[in-house]
Amino acid sequence: MFELAQLRCFTTVAAELNFRRAAQRLHMTQPPLSRQIRLLEHQLGVALFVRSTRSVALTAAGRAFLIEARSLLERAERATQAARRIAAGDIGSVTLGFVANAVYSLLPPVVADLRRRQPDIDLALHEMTSSEQQDALLARRIDLGIVRGALPRPGVRSERLLREPFLLAVHRNHPLADHPDLRVEDLDGLDFLLYAHSAWQPFNELISGLFRSARVQPNSVQMLGSTLTILSLVNADLGVALVPHSASAIRYDGVVFRAITLPHGVDSELHLISREDDDNPACNAVRLALHSAAEQEAHHRLVPDQGR
C-alpha cells in the first residue's frame, strides 16, 4: 500500500509537471523523487505520467488518481490537526455534574466564557447530588463535578473552587429585615427553615452545630432539601433561613438577604472533583474557566442591599 509521502511526491510532480522543480519544492534531489513515483506506479499497477526528454504529462489514470490523492492528503491533514487540537484541549467534549446551588451564579459565566473562547468544546451539564456525582465520576459518566464540601474517595481528586459566607434570608416585612449587625443570637426562638439532613447535603449538621455552640434554639418549622424551596417559603413569610451567598442571585419579591456574623469555618464551599486518572485534555479548559469564574465571584461579592 502506498504511503502519504508518496502521495505528496505525486501531487507535487502533478502540479509542476517537472521533476526538477518538484524536487526543489519538496527539498529533495531528483533521483529519490523519481524512485518514489516509480514505486507508486508499481504499487498501483498503472502509469501515472507520460515522460519524454522535454515534458511530463499526466495519464488518464494519473488525472483520476490526482483527485483522490489530494482528497486523501487533505483528510490526513484535517485528522492531524484534529488530533493535535484534541491533545491540546482545544476541542473535545466534557460532561460536568453540578449541585443546584452552582447554577445560581457560578455556572452561567463559565458556560458563556467557554462558548466565546472555546466554541469547539462541547460542554454537557447534569444536575446531580454530590454523592451521585462521585459515583458517576468513577463510572466515567461525567468528567468533572461541582460538589458541596470535600468528599474524599479513592480515585477522586478534589480542589476547592469557592468559599462563600451564609446570608440570612428573611421576608421583607420581618423585624430582622432592617436589623443592623445581625448575630446568631438574634435567631433564638424564631421560626426557622432548615436544610434536611442527608448524606449529600452538609448544611444541616453545619447549621445545627452552629445553633448548639451558640446555645440558641430557633423553632424549626420545616426541613427542606433545596435552597429554592427554602426561599419560596421565606417568600411566604413562613420563617427565616441561612443560605449560601450565591442564593442571593435568586429573586423573590418578598425576600431580602442580610449579612450575619458567624464563627470562623461556618461557611459554604464548592469543590471541583475529577478522576485521578483523568485523560481528557478538554477538562483543563473547563477547570480553568471554573476557577476564573470562582475568583471573579469571590472578588466582586457584595452583601445585597434592601432591594435584594
Q: What is the pLDDT of residues 190-227, one digit of tens each?
A: 999 999 876 556 788 899 999 999 999 999 999 988 89
Instruction: Give dist(CA 28, CA 31) in Å, integer.
Output: 9
User: Where are any strands of DSSP class E within 83-203?
Assistant: 92-98, 121-127, 144-148, 156-164, 166-171, 182-183, 191-195
Give CATH for domain 166-266: 3.40.190.10
Q: ∠ CA 158-161-165 to the nearest 5 degrees?
A: 120
Report yes or no: 196 and 223 within 8 Å, Cβ to Cβ. Answer: yes
**Model confidence pLDDT, tens digit, residues 250-265:** 899 999 999 999 998 8
Q: Is 119 exposed, middle or buried (0-12, 13-18, 19+ CB in 10 A)?
A: exposed
Same fold, 92-163+270-300 and 166-266: yes
**Model confidence pLDDT, tens digit, residues 254-300:** 999 999 999 988 998 899 999 999 889 889 989 999 999 888 887 76
Superfamily of domain 92-163+270-300: Periplasmic binding protein-like II (3.40.190.10)
**Model confidence pLDDT, tens digit, residues 111-139:** 998 988 888 889 999 999 888 899 999 99
Q: Name the CATH code of domain 4-88 (choices 3.40.190.10, 1.10.357.10, 1.10.10.10, 1.25.40.80).
A: 1.10.10.10
Instruction: Kindly tell me if the per-residue pLDDT of 303 is higher than 70.
Output: no
